Amino acid sequence: MVTKLIILLVIVLGIIAAAQLMRLYELSSKMRKTGEHDITNRDNRLNAGLMLTFMIALFLGFIWLMLKYGWTGRGEAASVHGHELDWLLNVNYVIVLAVFFLTNFLLFWFAFKYVKKPGVPAFYFPHDNKLEMVWTVIPAIVLAVIIIFGLRSWNNVTAAAADDAIIVELFSKQFDWTARYSGEDNKLGKFDYKLTEDAKNELALMTTESIQMAIDSMESGVKGISKLELQLNDRTIMLTPEDRAAKTKDLGNKEKLIRLLYQMKMKHNSSLDAQAWDDFIVRDTLYLCKDQPYEFNFRSKDVLHSAFFPHFRAQMNTVPGTTTRFKFTPDLTTADMRISRGVEDFDYVLYCNKICGGSHYKMKMIIVVLEKEAYDKWAALKMNGRKAADGSWDAEPATFGHTFHKVAEEAPVEDTPEDEQESTSEELDALVPEGDKV
Amino acid sequence: MAAVAHDAHGHDDHGHHEESFVSKYIFSQDHKMISKQFLMTAVFMGVVAMLLSILFRIQLAWPGESSDFLSFFLGDQWAPGGVLSEDMYLGLVTIHGTIMVFFLLTGGLSGTFSNLLIPYQIGARDMASGFLNMLSYWFFFISSGLMFVSLFIETGPAMAGWTIYPPLSALPQAISGSGLGMTLWLASMTIFIASSLIGSLNYIVTVLNLRTKGMHMTRLPLTIWTFFVTAILGVLSFPVLLSAALLLMMDRLAGTSFFLSDIIVQGEMLTNHGGSPILYQHLFWFLGHPEVYIVLLPALGLSSEVISTNSRKPIFGYRAMIGSILAIGFLSFIVWAHHMFVTGMNPFLGSVFVFTTLLIAIPSAVKVFNYITTLWKGSIIFTPAMLFAIGLVSTFITGGVTGIILADAALDITTHDTYFVVAHFHVVMGLSAVFGMFAGVYHWFPKMYGKMMNKKLGYIHFWITIVGAYGVFFPMHFVGLAGAPRRYYDYTVLGENDIDSFNQIMDLNVIITVFAIMAALGQLIFLFNFFYSIFRGPKTVQNPWKSTTLEWTTPIEHIHGNWPGELPTVHRWPYDYSKPGSDVDFIPQTVPLAPGEEEH
Ligand code: HEM
Ligand SMILES: [Cu+2]
Ligand SMILES: [Cu+2]
């Protein structure tokens, strides 16, 4: 409190002091009989000099930044199209830098050179069609070049993924990422957000069992319809008006949703269930294989997020209600990058790049790019022994903590994500080349 | 109407207008007073927004360190232990952006100078409708008040960024600022849009109908051309933002699903289905892109005037300048989706927007070269206004060229939503418009207040500001290229995995914050000079900058109807500086052409 008062006091005193100084200054200049607002030759020369000085400082500052942080200020790209985009950036950068230096130079140089000199009148020069033509046409030509190169890359980057691309889903929510690999068939199982069950089916995969499970829990689960009705109708339970309103609203929503779930059940084609069964899910770390094309499908559970892979020069928003896609092929392994950067614990990262809430900045996932051999081992590990002789999948949960097609027979395996993470990273340690271990 | 009324009852009876304090200073319908009201409100809002930016820059440079400065302003709720909270960080960023873009640089800049200069420079007694003009200001005032108040409510101000993309902005469960704070934001902006529409219609009608005798469209100063085109852009684009705001309000309050589909937030399964958050972005940016030119064009207009006057030369390529203004205005309506290259839109559509966006660079380049040629062989007088106008040209170049990189969709993939974008738009829009506004204030201060500002303080202000401004925003390009996403509360999270980028980003963040604090302190010099000169500045002469335009033919004391006698008649374009054959270096627009003299 006292400090606040002192701060305020200092500010007030400062203002008073400044005002007094101004008055003194004005009085003295009145005595010197200089009109305070006439711009003198001295003023002009001073500012002209400063213009030139500033230009030099600006250019030197820029050059210093480029020397210190690298020409475009970014590290090496780690994907096939990334190299192409960096080339494109370099081309653009050269053009843009040329314009930046040239036009700023002309501006500040003229400001310096043509400062008022007593007795030298300005040159009356209202227009010149030829000149204006020149600086319309030249930018147009340069821009045409930029557009042509730019669109060529844009078309490459946004073209459909190669046939052998592995499909991986990246699922975003406040505030983390989950990856779902499409498994043996390279097809992602269908999903519908209404099937979301936090612990058991967080990605809302659609199978005959998951639909039934969702219906059951919506009808008779702890927060199900029958419980809600009971609470709302039981006179012995005291509810605050807000509570009652919230519960009524919740009930209304659930009644609407349950109808949709029944419709879904009717329409569901169980022959597609297998597409979901072989999918496997990882959290925290996304494993990719070097030189392997990937097609990422993006989903969001709640608000907009954006999957931003700065090292791979890739980005795509994730949009609730829609699936978006982006493809790329990593071409430098994590180990390669650690060596080339000389940083032992470097990791690729997937960031969230669309404001999504308070912890937006923490929403990231580590990416590990492996050589093919190591990657295959890891993928086999994830799939290993999960397929029974009859072709059904069971040994390991298809989605976190739950095996859909065995609902009736077994209690769900309580497999915590942390455990799973631990074991994979241990296994993985064995895969990363000796010298690069952290 | 007001103008007609003034004409009707002549002008020798001005003394009889006994005005009460309220009708003179508060509910004034006089364009000069309304202009000053806009300026004062904008100065206040600008100071608030600048302070907010210093608060969050402290967090970015020294994340997690306790600071008395933060706890002084934010208290325990938003800065527990002197450390800014995550949510409030986003709140500060959001309100900073909103105030700067809409309140300072749209309402403030256009409101101040369109009001001041349109009647003066076209030779009119006042705006077409004084009443609507007053309404426009009071709507602006109310919306400013609402936005300001939203900083102080329990759940915090809007926190979804100045673009308030749903679903984040639609769901109070997703972030606390999307509760009452967002409601206030939407209410404030709705009123703001009403203010802007009323104002713009008035400007358009005034320019079209109330030009004095001889003031053809091709004799208008470029200031008026930019205000005119700006007003047209506003009238065509703000209603679209209004519709976006209304639809968003419906989604928030009435359970509709315009922008929402298949959402589970904080464990709650919503029933909304079929809407699209991307639709909102189309609506927003259909305004949003023209909006950036709504901000920029008036600044370009003001600086055209200042540069021509103080180079003692006609603005080079007057007609080409008008052509560029019109071309920019038109093109600005067909580029909006360049803000949405990575939303998953159809790649072909993306290509189209790459093309149209890069087209805009051509008229922009023409303008820059015309400015530079205006300086060439001039006789430059460095008034503080001139310094800022030259600063504007520099930032317009520097920010414009990075637009070319962003417009290349393929490159935007890697730069979208990074600090590279933050650098781009602050330099090209933020700095240029602020410099234009300062140029305007220094140049027309004598006209507004009848006093002179102190030039030495003006010089110090300019040099601190331009050094600070470049110091803040230049390094930001390198922060962005290193891969720093924008709207991050704390960049140390990057250090855990990618130490190189982290070092680059954190070093620069400290430099940026130091420059930001320096630049902010520099603005105190301006504030002091501004307020001191209003009350104690030396009295001005009628035409202190030896300028040709009509406003300098009016008396220093403000009178109703602007000119004591007849309205002036215009005989020439506004840029007859240093015309050969004349013995003075400027010929006011009211001077008839000499026999045999060509217009230009
Ligand atoms: C040469 C002309 C210009 C081009 C080609 C250009 C291009 C772009 C592009 C492509 C973006 C989107 C970047 C992204 O979000 O990833 C952008 C952002 C932006 N530009 Fe420009 N621009 C130009 C000039 C201007 C001007 C003159 C202004 C303002 C007066 C301006 C203001 C903005 C703003 C405010 C944003 C960012 C909005 C946000 O995301 O918050 N730009 N510009
Ligand atoms: Cu996110
Ligand atoms: Cu834009």
Domain co-membership, A360 together with A389: yes
A58 assigned to some structural domain: yes
Residue with tokens 């001889």: B214
Across the A:B interface, residue pairs with CB atoms under 8 Å apart total 381
Chain B positions touching A143 (Cβ under 8 A) are: 358-359, 361-362, 404
Chain B positions touching A131 (Cβ under 8 A) are: 373
Confidence (pLDDT) at A35:
54
Chain B positions touching A357 (Cβ under 8 A) are: 168, 174-175
The Cα of A277 is separated from the nearest Cα of chain B by a number of Å equal to 23
**Residue A230 near chain B (CB below 8 Å):** no
Q: How many CB atoms lie within 10 A of CB A316?
A: 23
A182 assigned to some structural domain: no
CB-CB contact of A268 with A211 (8 Å) = yes
- Which of these, B164, B44, B152, B27, lies nearest to B99 by C-alpha position? B44
Nearest CA in chain B to A48: B382
The Cα of B400 is separated from the nearest Cα of chain A by a number of Å equal to 9
Chain A positions touching B487 (Cβ under 8 A) are: 355, 360-361
Pick B365's closest partner by Cβ from A139, A306, A319. Answer: A139
Flag whether pLDDT at B208 surpasses 80.
Answer: yes
Flag whether pLDDT at A215 surpasses 60.
Answer: yes
Nearest CA in chain A to B482: A74
Flag whether pLDDT at B9 surpasses 70.
Answer: no
Write down the mean pLDDT value for chain B. Answer: 92
A30 assigned to some structural domain: no
- Alpha-carbon distances, residue B558 vs A190, B163, B406, B450 (angstroms): 73, 40, 47, 8
Structure tokens at A13: 């005193």
- Characterize B344-372 residue by residue with b for buried, 16 or more Cβ atoms within 10 angstroms of its Cβ, and e for exposed: bbeeeebbebbbbbbbbbbbbbbbbbbbb
A24-79 pLDDT, tens digit each: 777 666 665 555 568 888 999 999 999 999 999 999 999 999 998 888 878 889 99
Distance (Å, whole) CA B403 – CA A143: 12
Number of C-alpha atoms within 13 angstroms, CB side, residue B258?
A: 20
How confident is residue B498, by pLDDT bands cut at 50, 70 and 90?
confident
Distance (Å, whole) CA B563 – CA A329: 72
A175 assigned to some structural domain: no
Confidence (pLDDT) at A30:
63
How confident is residue A386, by pLDDT bands cut at 50, 70 and 90?
low
Nearest CA in chain A to B403: A96
Instruction: Give the ligand with the smallest distance to the CA of A170.
Output: 2
Domain co-membership, A400 together with A308: yes
Nearest CA in chain B to A160: B347
Report CB contact under 8 Å: B408, A320.
no
Range of the domain at A153: 41-158
Distance (Å, whole) CA B176 – CA B160: 10
- Ligand 3 centroid to residue B515 C-alpha, Å: 27
Chain A positions touching B166 (Cβ under 8 A) are: 303
Q: Out of B90, B94, B98, B292, give the residue to mutate to test ligand 1, the one with the largest number of ligand atoms within 8 Å of its CB.
A: B292
Rg from Cα positions in chain A: 33
| Helical axes A241-267 vs A225-233, angle rounded to 10° | 150
Distance (Å, whole) CA B425 – CA B418: 12
- Closest-lying ligand 1 atom to the alpha carbon of residue B407: 10
Distance (Å, whole) CA B180 – CA B151: 11
Give the residue from B87, B319, B393, B405 with the most A CB atoms within 10 Å of its CB, the best one to mutate.
B405
Report CB contact under 8 Å: A111, B317.
no
Percent of chain B with pLDDT over 90: 84
- Characterize A67-93 residue by residue with b for buried, 16 or more Cβ atoms within 10 angstroms of its Cβ, and e for exposed: eebbebbbbebbbbbbebbbebbeebb
Mean pLDDT of B17-29: 74
In this structure, the residue with its CA closest to atom 41 of ligand 1 is: B163
Domain final position from A230, A260, A275? A275
Pick A174's closest partner by Cβ from B174, B319, B414. Answer: B174
Confidence (pLDDT) at A33:
54
Q: Out of B406, B408, B476, B481, give the residue to mutate to test ligand 1, the one with the largest number of ligand atoms within 8 Å of its CB.
A: B406
- Closest-lying ligand 1 atom to the alpha carbon of residue B400: 1
Percent of chain A with pLDDT over 90: 54
Report CB contact under 8 Å: B90, A151.
no
Report CB contact under 8 Å: A351, B485.
yes
The Cα of B390 is separated from the nearest Cα of chain A by a number of Å equal to 8
Residue A66 is given by DSSP the state H
A237 assigned to some structural domain: yes
Task: Give the start-to-end residue ranges of the domains of chain B.
Answer: 32-553
Number of C-alpha atoms within 13 angstroms, CB side, residue B237?
A: 27
The Cα of A365 is separated from the nearest Cα of chain B by a number of Å equal to 10
**Residue A265 near chain B (CB below 8 Å):** no
Pick B501's closest partner by Cβ from A3, A46, A75. Answer: A75
Domain co-membership, A283 together with A268: no
Handedness of CA B269, B270, B271, B277 (dihedral sign): negative
CB-CB contact of A62 with B474 (8 Å) = yes
Flag whether pLDDT at A234 surpasses 70.
Answer: yes
Burial class (CB within 10 angstroms; exposed 0-12, middle 13-18, buried 19+) of A132: buried
Domain co-membership, A227 together with A306: no
B311-355 pLDDT, tens digit each: 999 999 999 999 999 999 999 999 999 999 999 999 999 999 999
CB-CB contact of B434 with B480 (8 Å) = no
Report CB contact under 8 Å: A65, B474.
yes
Structure tokens at B176: 């606390």
Reduced to 3 states (helix: H, G, I; strand: E, B; else coil), residue B158 is coil
CB-CB contact of A179 with A281 (8 Å) = yes
Give the residue from B56, B311, B343 with the most A CB atoms within 10 Å of its CB, the best one to mutate.
B343
Residues 312-371 of A with CB under 8 A from B: 313-317, 319-322, 324-325, 341, 343, 345-349, 351-362, 364, 366
ipTM score assigned to the predicted complex: 0.93
- Closest-lying ligand 1 atom to the alpha carbon of residue B361: 1
Residue with tokens 């065509």: B236
Confidence (pLDDT) at B2:
41
Report CB contact under 8 Å: B372, A107.
yes
Pick B168's closest partner by Cβ from A108, A304, A306. Answer: A304
Instruction: Indicate which CATH number applies to the domain containing A429.
Output: 2.60.40.420
In this structure, the residue with its CA closest to atom 36 of ligand 1 is: B425
Domain co-membership, A129 together with A48: yes
**Residue A106 near chain B (CB below 8 Å):** yes
Confidence (pLDDT) at B363:
94
Report CB contact under 8 Å: A154, B359.
no
- Which of these, B599, B26, B578, lies nearest to B310 by C-alpha position? B578
Structural domains in chain A (count)? 3
Report CB contact under 8 Å: A126, B575.
yes
- Which of these, B255, B253, B254, B280, lies nearest to B270 by C-alpha position? B255
Q: Out of B94, B408, B429, give the residue to mutate to test ligand 1, the one with the largest number of ligand atoms within 8 Å of its CB.
A: B429
Confidence (pLDDT) at A269:
87
A111 assigned to some structural domain: yes
In this structure, the residue with its CA closest to atom 19 of ligand 1 is: B425
Domain co-membership, A398 together with A288: yes
Domain co-membership, A221 together with A284: no
Flag whether pLDDT at B75 surpasses 50.
Answer: yes
A257-306 pLDDT, tens digit each: 999 999 999 999 888 888 888 888 888 889 999 999 999 999 999 999 99
Domain co-membership, A297 together with A264: no
Domain co-membership, A358 together with A403: yes
Nearest CA in chain A to B584: A121
A81 assigned to some structural domain: yes
Higher model confidence: residue B599 or residue A32?
B599
A300-351 pLDDT, tens digit each: 999 999 999 999 999 999 999 999 999 999 999 999 999 998 888 899 999 9
Distance (Å, whole) CA B282 – CA B290: 13
Q: Topology of B32-553 in CATH?
A: Cytochrome C Oxidase; Chain A (1.20.210)
Structure tokens at B32: 């000069």
Chain A positions touching B273 (Cβ under 8 A) are: 321
- Which of these, A290, A426, A308, A301, lies nearest to A364 by C-alpha position? A308
Mean pLDDT of B75-95: 90
Instruction: Give the ligand with the smallest distance to the CA of B281.
Output: 1
Domain co-membership, A200 together with A237: yes
Percent of chain B with pLDDT over 70: 97
A236 assigned to some structural domain: yes
Domain co-membership, A286 together with A223: no
Confidence (pLDDT) at A410:
34
Report CB contact under 8 Å: B358, A147.
yes
Domain co-membership, A130 together with A247: no
Instruction: Give the ligand with the smallest distance to the CA of B165.
Output: 1
Q: Out of B280, B324, B424, B427, give the residue to mutate to test ligand 1, the one with the largest number of ligand atoms within 8 Å of its CB.
A: B424
B113-133 pLDDT, tens digit each: 999 999 999 999 999 999 999
